[in-house]
Amino acid sequence: MMRRTFHARRVAAAVAALAGLVLVPAGGAFAGTTAQLTAAESAPGATSAAATTATDPDDLPVAASDSLTTWWHDNSVATTGSVPDDQVRRSTVYDATVATTDAPDAAYRSFVYMSVPRSGEGKRGYTEQDGAEFSSSANLTMSWSSFEYSTDVWVDVSLKTGQTISSADQVTIRPTNLGFEKQLVDDHTIRVHVPYSSDGYRFSVEFDPQLVTAYNDMSGASGELTTVADGNRAVDTEPQNSMLVFANPEPSAQDEDSLAPTDADGSIYRPAPGKVDDLDSITQDIVYFGPGTYSMGADYRAQLPANVKWVYLAPGAYVKGAFRFPHDTQAHYKVTGLGVLSGEQYVYEADTANGYAHTTSDNCHVSCVKMLQFESSDTQQTLDLQGVTIASPPYHSFVVYAHDGDTEIPVTGFQMNVENYKQVGSWYWQTDGIELYDGGRMKDTFFHANDDVLKLYHSDVDIKNTVIWKNENGPVVQWGWTPRDIDGVTVADTDVIHNRMYWKDVKYNTCIFNSSSHWEDMSATDRADTATTVKNMRFTNTRVEGMTNCAIRDFALSNTRNVEIDGLHIDAWNDLDPSSQVSLLKRYTDTAGNKVSIGNETQDGDGILLHDYTVGGVPVLKAGDNWASDELGRLDFDADTWDSWDATSDGQPTGAQPALTVDGLHDGDTAASRSLTVTGKTDAVSVSVTADGVTTSAAVSSSGTYSATVDLGAISNRVRVTAVGADGVVNVQRFTLYAFGTKVGSVSDPTGDDDGPGSYTYPTDGAFNQGSFDLTGFDVYRDGDVVRFVASTAGEIHNPWGGNGMSTQRLNVYVRDGGSKKTTDLLPGTNTSAAGTWRYAVVADGRYDSSRFGTGVYGADLSRVGDADLTVIPAGKIVSSVPARVLRGVDLRTAAYQVSMFSDAEDGEGVGNVRPVYATGGQYRLGGGAGSWTDVGDAKDTDVTDSNALDVISGARPQSVVMDWTKGRVVVPYVRLDSAPTVVDVQLTATSAKVGRSQVLTIKARNDGDTAVTLTTPGLFGARRLGTVAAGATRSFTVDTHLPWLPPATLRITASAPDKTSKSYRVHYAGSGPLDLSGLLRH
């Protein structure tokens, strides 16, 4: 509490008593009973706490002195359910008392507040997700207690659940680097020594019996959070019921006048505790909430008039509501005091344009309730935001807007000073931290947030000493979403004490540090602006306790210069796969294809520097062997940024790199087998080869040659060859090698034909990147008891919507039933048929495993007959792995295949999760087809005669002809592997007609084989070559016999393939008809 005279304390005590609080001078407290205390040694300069057992805080007074002030709410209720308007929720889990170290026997009660997900009332008026699903189902709560002090204190925290502890070591204080002394008071109480600091402290008290672990259940694209351990992956361990302590420093005499208003600061309006719904037209300059409980209700927020410049929340004030400053007339705003502003009465996304009910619009950026909302005039304004606690925000906790008329414009000239700000109970999505504008300063804060926390979108920003408890949504630090000019940002001493970022897919807006892709289309890579620059950003001493998902993802939308992350210390990665934990650095382009630039770090020191980046205490070094995506550092920065970044550490080895050559390996090669022998030459002391995390020492000869054999156990394998010199300097070469098994055969397909019959167009959205539907080849492998079908694409395969490796592609592989030629429909929704019945269809779909025709194997009766595991290699390979037993009766080498690429669609968007092709395309619609969108029928298409395939492997037959729906039903051919024996399959007929006085014989040939054939006949009026028939083509050949009549006969014709494979046919000829002698008799 603010420094004051004894007379002032008496006045405050009287006000507090009226409000249901009790403030008692510190000397008037009574001591607790005495008992033996188990204690650690006192910290230097601290007075040991008395041997005291914990006392029921209800029996204790509150403190009100220059050295310690606590507060209490007599009108409280301990519940996790709903709370009446005139009451304050008290923690059901914890109690707290505080004593100065100078008078350890005199303990004072300190109220413990509590926030629960959705205020204990569930989803009010809506059913859609709100981000509080896990916290609600796991019964999480967040308790906190605040006090003001100017000397060292002991804080006792007691657990009220019946759970017990036997040692102070069973309680953790986070941030752990605080190093606070702990003493065990009894089997449910811990005593914490909190030294005085002018910055105060914000920390978590965590009892081991309260700890629960959140797991990713690995379902769907991203997984879902659960507390069930079996078969799932751990992502975070935290207290089920958290307990925070906010030790607020008493302000200096100089600061006191600026933090608590007096009459000298302007006219003051003091609402009475109770209902407050009349602030919109007050005439005073300052709104002063004294100790007590205030409620605005669920359908009101204060729209403060233009004259209001200051809102003060006294210690012990608990205000249920929100404040909007809709006018831009004030030059200096203030929101100060140690009271609480709670959004607990509002529903998630409470929309003022919808009667404060949950919003029904896609975006309530303009109209939803924000806890604190300001309007900028774009002339120089300042805001002092100091001391307050924001609890249970229903949406953004803090925003500043600027307008030109009704048009929102960027905020300029709004300088903020934020100090000792606390945000708790942020269960919902979009409960961000604070955005600081140009010249902003922030220090000594605590954020519990479920979206971007530190939002660094502006220049000359300085942030110090932040404690963060991160929920699952958004990153810790964000400077992306749109191209920006940023110059001069410093962030120091950030402690992330928990985070629940759990995604198994690679999200754009997550990690500790993040510059997200563009908010309009997060999958688009062409929204950058090369006229903008982000530069001179420095982050020092970022400590991440426990587990996390990833360190940094920078999807650069602006040129980037001189970004330094110095001292990023991560305790451990979560239990997801390394592929889910990668850090990314990508240079995006503008719409003309121009890439943004990133400074050269290796030569000029002007790029991105990671200095003293450690994981588990081990430095990550670019000059070492632990930085890459599958290694400790998890860095997977794009190759074209190699010179733009560095990872260094104090004390790393220096000197010349040893020589190292590796024979015959190239990044992206496919290995011939799963056993790989690596050889080469070096002058190093030792060489090791690591494959998929297993390291094998290589034997190095006296001449410097080395050799090691490793196993490639996965589809995508990381192989690292490390040579270590005498001074510890290393030379490392890394390779990604693919191993699919033993190849059965392949077939190729032209590039650039991902346009169906020649007219199809991609959707315009960036999720559909060029070339990603363009099939270039198909391979079949046998790998033990698994068959792998591998389709290659010309372009990279992106995963913009978080699928299993891919989001927009849908691949079908059909295996023909023997030699059938019966025209047969492919799977529903394809609008395509094949030239023969199929026995099995293998579907690869990254988003819909469980749909009717999701990833799996289907029989001719459309029943699901087996599973298929999907693996996507982003460089351009889709791998379907099928148990060999599922493909009964199939000879993989001789079988015929139909391979076709479609686009994935959501349920109800067409049939069978196949995206329809329309005449006119759009953002998410394929174009160049026959019909138009309609809401009539399942196909959502007025014309289904056009195939929905963008590319098919059609072998020797031109795809443009095969897929031309204007010529009739689209019937695509099967193709055979290059290892299959050549099949010569020609249908022949022979007829004749009299032309003049001569019979002309016509031989019609239809080539149903996979290759062109040449027809010859040895005895048809002399040996002769008839001609060549292309695969899939029909051609007629004529022979003038110079005879007036031909008898019935069997003709012998041979069809020969280019590889000399041939087949002889006997073709029945019925003759030219009865012999006509009339002409001869007349002569």
Bigger pLDDT: 1053 or 1078? 1053
Residue 887 pLDDT exceeds 60: yes
Q: Is 264 part of any domain?
A: no
Given a cut of 60, whether residue 49 has pLDDT beyond it is no
Q: Give percent of the chain with pLDDT exceeding 90.
A: 85
Model pLDDT, residue 1078: 53
* Residues of the chain by 3-state class (helix, strand, coil), percent to 5: 5, 40, 50
* First-to-last C-alpha distance (Å) of the chain: 138
Say if residue 777 is in the same domain as residue 667.
no
Looking at the fold, whether 485 and 625 belong to one and the same domain comes out as yes
What is the mean pLDDT of the segment spanning 709-737? 95
Mapped onto helix, strand or coil, the DSSP state of residue 59 is: helix
Check whether residue 468 and residue 539 sit in a common domain: yes
Strands 225-226 and 211-216: antiparallel
**pLDDT score, position 134:** 97
Residue 958 has a pLDDT of 95
Given a cut of 50, whether residue 32 has pLDDT beyond it is: no
Residue 1004 has a CB neighbour count (10 Å cut-off) of 14
Q: Last residue of a domain, which of 949, 976, 1003?
A: 976
pLDDT confidence band for 1020 (50 / 70 / 90): low
Q: How far is CA 754 from CA 581, 658, 676, 775, 966, in A?
A: 33, 47, 36, 7, 18
Q: How many domains does the chain have?
A: 5
**Residue 29 in this model has a pLDDT that exceeds 60:** no
What would the mean pLDDT of 556-561 be, rounded to a whole number? 98
Measured CA to CA, the distance from residue 261 to residue 382 in angstroms comes to 17
DSSP annotation string for 291-353: SEEEE--TT--EE--TT--EEEE-TTEEEES-EEE-----SEEEEESS-EEE-TTSPTTEEGG
How many CB atoms are located within 10 Å of the residue 976 CB? 21
Please indicate, yes or no, if residue 278 is contained in any of the structural domains: no
Distance between CA atoms of 115 and 826, rounded to whole angstroms?
56
C-alpha–C-alpha distance, residues 859 and 46, integer Å: 77
Better-scored residue on pLDDT, 474 or 9: 474
Determine the average pLDDT of the residues in 886-906. Answer: 94
Higher pLDDT among residues 1075 and 261, named by residue: 261
pLDDT for 1023-1040, tens place per residue? Answer: 789 999 988 789 999 999
pLDDT at 1021: 64
Quick one: pLDDT band at residue 1077, thresholds 50, 70, 90? low
User: Residue 274: is it exposed, middle or buried by C-beta count within 10 angstroms (0-12/13-18/19+)?
Assistant: exposed
- Please tell me which residue, 37 or 262, carries the higher pLDDT value: 262
Note whether 814 and 913 are same-domain residues.
Answer: yes
The pLDDT of residue 280 is above 50: yes
Residues 639 and 514 in one domain: yes
Q: Mean of the per-residue pLDDT values for the chain?
A: 92
What is the phi-psi region of residue 218: left when phi exceeds 0, alpha when psi lies from -120 to 50, beta otherwise?
left
Q: Which residues pair with 112 in a beta bridge?
A: 145
Residue 527 has pLDDT above 70, yes or no: yes
What percentage of residues in the chain have a pLDDT greater than 70? 94
Whether residue 289 lies inside any domain: the answer is no
Asked if residue 727 and residue 580 are part of one domain, the reply reads no
| Judgement on whether residues 641 and 667 belong to the same structural domain of the protein | no
Q: Is the pLDDT of residue 33 over 80?
A: no
CATH number, residue 1061: 2.60.40.10
Tell me how far apart the alpha carbons of residues 747 and 775 are, in angstroms, rounded to a whole number.
11
- Are 705 and 752 found together in one domain? no
Residue 46 pLDDT exceeds 50 = no
Q: Which residue has the higher pLDDT, 867 or 252?
A: 867
Whether residue 175 is preceded by a cis peptide bond, meaning omega within 30 degrees of 0, is yes
Return the ∠ at Cα 271 (arms to 266 and 274), rounded to 5°: 165
Among the candidates 248, 274, 294, a domain finishes at 248
Residue 292 counted as domain residue = no
Instruction: Choose among 787, 709, 710, 677: nearest CA to 743.
Output: 787
Q: Give residues with Cβ within 8 angstroms of 644, minimum separation 6.
A: 560, 585, 598, 599, 600, 601, 607, 608
Same domain, 400 and 488: yes
- The range of the structural domain enclosing residue 943 comes to 742-976
Q: What is the reported pLDDT for 38? A: 30
- Please choose, from the candidates 279, 331, 287, the residue with its C-alpha nearest in 3D space to the C-alpha of residue 305: 279
Same domain, 226 and 362: no
Is 765 exposed, middle or buried, given 0-12, 13-18 or 19+ CB atoms closer than 10 A?
middle
Q: Which of 595, 622, 648 represents a domain boundary (last residue)?
A: 648
CA–CA distance, 507 with 475 (Å, rounded to integer): 10
Query: What length is written for the chain?
Result: 1083
58 Cβ contact list (under 8 Å, min separation 6): 109
- Residue 499 binned pLDDT confidence (cut-offs 50, 70, 90): very high
Secondary structure (DSSP) of 588-607: -B-TTSPBP-B--HHHHS-S
**Is 800 within a domain?**
yes
- CATH classification at residue 481: 2.160.20.10
Give the mean model confidence (pLDDT) for residues 24-43.
Answer: 31
What CATH code is carried by the domain that includes residue 873? 2.60.40.1190
The average pLDDT across 851-879 equals 95
If you average pLDDT over residues 872-881, what whole number do you get? 96
- 731 and 753 co-located in one domain: no
Residue 965 within a domain: yes
**Segment 375-399 mean pLDDT:** 95
Q: Are 749 and 830 part of one and the same domain?
A: yes
Within a domain: residue 1074? no
pLDDT at 476 over 70: yes
Mean pLDDT of 262-281: 96
Q: What is the model's pLDDT at position 12?
A: 44
Residue 262 CB neighbours (<10 A):
11
Burial (Cβ within 10 Å: 0-12, 13-18, ≥19) of residue 935:
exposed
DSSP state for residue 926 in the 8-state scheme:
E
Residue range 945-997, pLDDT digits in tens: 999 999 999 998 999 999 999 999 999 999 999 987 888 889 999 999 999 98
Residue 281 covered by a domain? no
> DSSP 3-state assignment of 355?
coil
